[in-house]
Amino acid sequence: MDLGVAGKKFLIGGGSKGLGRAIGTILAEEGAQVLLMSRSAYGLDEAATAIGPAASWVAADIADPGAIATIAVAVDDNLGGLDGILVNAGGPPPGEVLDLTDEQWLGAYQTLIGGPVRLLRALTPRMTGGGAILFVTSTSVRQPVTGLDTSNVLRPGVAAMAKVLARELGPAIRVNSLAPGRFDTDRVRSLDEVRATAQGVTPEAVKAATSSQIPLGRYGDPVEFGRVGAFLLSPAASYLSGISVQADGAMVTAIP
Ligand SMILES: NC(=O)c1ccc[n+]([C@@H]2O[C@H](COP(=O)([O-])OP(=O)(O)OC[C@H]3O[C@@H](n4cnc5c(N)ncnc54)[C@H](OP(=O)(O)O)[C@@H]3O)[C@@H](O)[C@H]2O)c1
């Protein structure tokens, strides 16, 4: 199947590593131009070099209201048009509802909701030929993840935002969300370390115990997430909008 992304232009949030980088890599392999966005210039430069000439980058913190103008200028200068946006950044801090500080709650809000709203307010007018927006969420939109209450509370709101934006930006722009379960990235490795310390076991033991709860028996490879994300952002997914897709190896047991 041809994804139909050759010559199309995408902004890839969290593009320096992990799940965002995996999506950006596949889009570039399929002939798209990608502008990678994250905070660290070093990580971005490394990722863009690995992807090749189809990739450029802009260093910006999505939580910082002042960063949106920088991103918009980079979109204009590096892409000169926009067909798709991956709304994605680092995960919010672990912790339980009443233990998390006000600063942690507000920081999580800025990363997951405030920053994305400001980003889309600035960039959707540039999607003059239509296109697609994809939010990376989490399986916490269906079933709470133990010890990750910023995600459990705020991510369902992000999935709702994707749903209402699909109504408000259609028919020109499709909007979906993609919920990862456990993919082998720095984020998941660091969460496993936090759980290992709390339980007095090794991170490897946490990974083995978690994998045993996943019907497919393992963590996902980011490239397996990248393929789904690239599809949802592509014209090949032309009749999909307003949905939340779960990529979790059947980990979530909720029905439907
Ligand atoms: N991996 C999973 O299985 C899984 C499961 C559930 C949910 N998720 C969620 O999916 C998202 C991506 O996860 P991942 O595993 O790919 O994480 P990751 O490997 O830690 O990558 C996160 C990416 O986001 C960038 N980033 C972090 N904070 C940012 C900010 N404030 N502004 C702009 N960019 C920022 C990072 O680069 P810099 O550090 O340079 O900014 C990096 O490029 C996260 O929100 C995570 O919570 C992942």
Q: Are the C-beta atoms of residues 98 and 32 closer than 8 Å to each other?
A: no
Pairing of strands 33-38, 9-13: parallel
- Give 9-182+222-247's CATH code, choosing from 2.60.40.180, 3.40.50.720, 3.40.50.1980, 2.40.50.140: 3.40.50.720
Q: Which of 72, 12, 73, 76 is nearest to 47 (CA)?
A: 12
* Ligand 1 contact, 177 CB (< 6 A): no
For the chain, the structural domain boundaries read: 9-182+222-247, 184-219
Q: Are the C-beta atoms of residues 20 and 38 closer than 8 Å to each other?
A: yes
* Residue 168 CA, ligand 1 centroid: distance in Å: 27
Q: Which of 119, 133, 123, 211 is nearest to 178 (CA)?
A: 133
- Angle CA(52)–CA(55)–CA(59) in degrees, nearest 5? 130
* Ligand 1 contact, 190 CB (< 6 A): no
Q: In the structure encoding, which two tokens stand for residue 176, read together? A: 């979906």
Q: In the structure encoding, which two tokens stand for residue 160, read together? A: 């709702």
Share of the chain above pLDDT 90, in %: 99
- Angle CA(74)–CA(170)–CA(150) in degrees, nearest 5? 65
* Residue 188 CA, ligand 1 centroid: distance in Å: 10
Pairing of strands 244-247, 84-87: unpaired
* Residue 60 CA, ligand 1 centroid: distance in Å: 13
Residue to mutate (ligand 1; options 19, 45, 70, 104; most atoms within 8 A of CB):
19
pLDDT tens profile 215-249: 999 999 999 999 999 999 999 999 999 999 999 99
The reported pLDDT for the residue numbered 182 is: 97
- Nearest atom of ligand 1 to the alpha carbon of 15: 43
* Ligand 1 contact, 116 CB (< 6 A): no
Q: What is the average pLDDT across 145-169?
A: 97
pLDDT tens profile 108-154: 999 999 999 999 999 999 999 999 999 999 999 999 999 999 999 99
The reported pLDDT for the residue numbered 50 is: 98
